[in-house]
Amino acid sequence: MEEFEALNLIRKLESVRGRHTELVTVYVPAGFSLDIIRSHLLEEKGTATNIKDRNTRKNVIDALEKIVNELKLIRSTPENGLVVFCGNISEKEGEPDIEVWEVEPPAKSNIRLYRCDQTFITEPLKAMYSQGNAFALIVLDLREATFGLLEGARITVLKHIKSLVPGKFSKGGQSAMRFSREREGLIRDFYKEIAETAKNLFFGKELAGIIVGGPGPAKDNFLESGYLITNLKNQIKGIKSISYTDESGLRELVEKSGDILASERITIEKELVQKLMASISRNDNMSVYGVEQTRMELKNDNIEMLLISSGLNDQDRNEFYYAGKEKGLKTEIISKESSDGLQLYNLGGVAALLKRPSKH
């Protein structure tokens, strides 16, 4: 829920455009002194008096003053650091509206930044919301390997490679022993390529873990080969037997990894949508879907849980989210990226599980 609101704010900030370089962004690292930041901003305020354009000069100085005053109200830097955005968001020339927003990052930040620009600098903050909760996915056999990333409910294909390993039997007059030696050499080469690709894609990334899958013994033989660097091998959370090693194999791997992903968004969202679909299938009147039907049950205080698709238009998504929050309802944002999330989106983008049977 906090993430939804933060990302909502980021979308709002990204829509703001300054007439000149009058939008101020400040990133304070975790553990860094706010006194130093305040002193720095007061110095920048002095420098801003040299700005030639009168309106820009006033807006920058006013923004810096507002940030300094806000920071005086904060005893110490929050545990994960602090990000402050401040600037003139008025659309009318000569009628400034200086607004300030403070955000504590979702994880410890080491970023220190001060910038005056025509836009707020939101990318570093946005990136923090996808760090540390992604699973690396590797599916392989002796023919091919596919690498992917599971972030929330979204599966992204990163790379697909093919091997030069022939089948088990020689087609020509080559001796069986020589063919076997050459085949084993090509298998080793392919395992090395898989390991090198994994290193290039995943080493140094903040991951929740790595899951490996594939048909037959190739996946186990690869892991026992010793080619995968220790840092990545130590992050392996599970090895699963699956049928495919292409993009569909990545999806199958996630499906088969429910035990590993039990607390992850993709599993939680799947369970919620399936609960909704089961109610619809039973025709028990304990659920509704679509904007109008859900809005009606919300008005009647008959909602147990709200399910809102990330693909719903901004206006409706925010309406239902904040209405649900105001009423103290359990509200879930369901990603459109998964197959289950797509079902909710196709039902109108919003649905609800009810307290009592619907009369409509």
Same-domain status, 243 and 282? no
What CATH number should be reported for the domain holding residue 95?
3.30.960.10
Whole-number Å distance between alpha carbons of 77 and 140: 46
Could you tell me if 286 and 250 lie in one domain? Answer: no
The string of pLDDT tens digits covering residues 156-186 is 999 999 999 998 766 655 688 888 899 999 9
Mean pLDDT (the chain) is 92
pLDDT digits (tens, 9 = 90+) for 53-109: 999 999 999 999 999 999 999 989 999 999 999 999 988 877 899 999 999 998 889
Is residue 144 within 8 A of residue 219, CB to CB? The reply is no
Euclidean distance between CA atoms 294 and 273, whole angstroms: 15
Residue 360 lies in a domain: no
pLDDT at 84: 97
**Per-residue pLDDT, 171:** 61
Same domain, 99 and 213: no
Residue 359 lies in a domain: no
pLDDT at 172: 59
Q: Output the 3-class SS for 245-282.
A: CCHHHHHHHHHHCCCCCCCCHHHHHHHHHHHHHHHHHH
What is the total count of domains within the chain?
3
Section 15-34 average pLDDT:
94
The residues with which 85 forms a beta bridge, in sequence order, are 25, 101
Residue 251 lies in a domain: yes
Single out the residue in 128, 148, 166 at which a domain terminates: 128
Residues 139 and 204 in one domain: yes
For residue 295, tell me if it sits in a domain: yes
In a domain, 11, yes or no: yes
pLDDT, residue 223, reads: 97
| Averaged pLDDT, 313-332 | 92
pLDDT of residue 263: 79
**Cβ atoms 144, 245 nearer than 8 A:** yes
Q: Are residues 122 and 146 in the same domain?
A: no
pLDDT at 10: 92
What CA–CA distances, in Å, run from 275 to 98, 218, 307? Answer: 46, 37, 11
* 336 falls within a domain: yes
Q: Which of 223, 256, 289 is the last residue of a domain?
A: 256
Establish if 78 belongs to a structural domain.
yes
In angstroms, the Cα distances linking 244 to 118, 166, 237, 240 are: 49, 18, 20, 11
Same domain for 99 and 38? yes
Asked whether residue 1 carries a pLDDT value surpassing 60, the answer given is no
pLDDT for the residue numbered 58: 94
Q: Give residue 339's pLDDT.
A: 85
Give the per-residue pLDDT at 128: 83
Quote the pLDDT of residue 314. Answer: 87
Residue at 261 is within a domain: no
Is the per-residue pLDDT at 131 higher than 70?
no
- The share of the chain scoring above pLDDT 70, in percent, equals 97
Question: Is the same domain home to 270 and 320?
Answer: yes
Same domain, 221 and 182: yes
pLDDT band at 130 (very low <50, low <70, confident <90, very high): low
Q: What are the backbone dihedrals phi and psi of residue 171, each rounded to the nearest 5 degrees, phi first?
A: -95, -20
Indicate whether 152 pLDDT > 60: yes
pTM, entire model: 0.67
pLDDT for 41 equals 97
Residues 15 and 120 in one domain: yes
Structural domain of 98? 2-128
- Calculate the alpha carbon distances from 272 to 18, 182, 265 in Å: 42, 51, 10
CATH number, domain with residue 214: 3.30.420.60
- Condensed to tens digits (0 to 9), the pLDDT of residues 206-237 reads 899 999 999 999 999 999 999 999 999 999 99
Q: Are residues 171 and 285 in the same domain?
A: no
The answer to whether 145 touches 245, Cβ cutoff 8 Å, is: yes
What pLDDT does 229 receive? Answer: 96
Last residue of a domain, one of 256, 279, 306: 256
- Both 231 and 320 in a single domain? no
Summarize the confidence of residues 253-279 as an average pLDDT: 92
271 shares a domain with 237: no
Looking up tokens 């507002």 gives 66
What is the pLDDT averaged over residues 127-150? Answer: 89
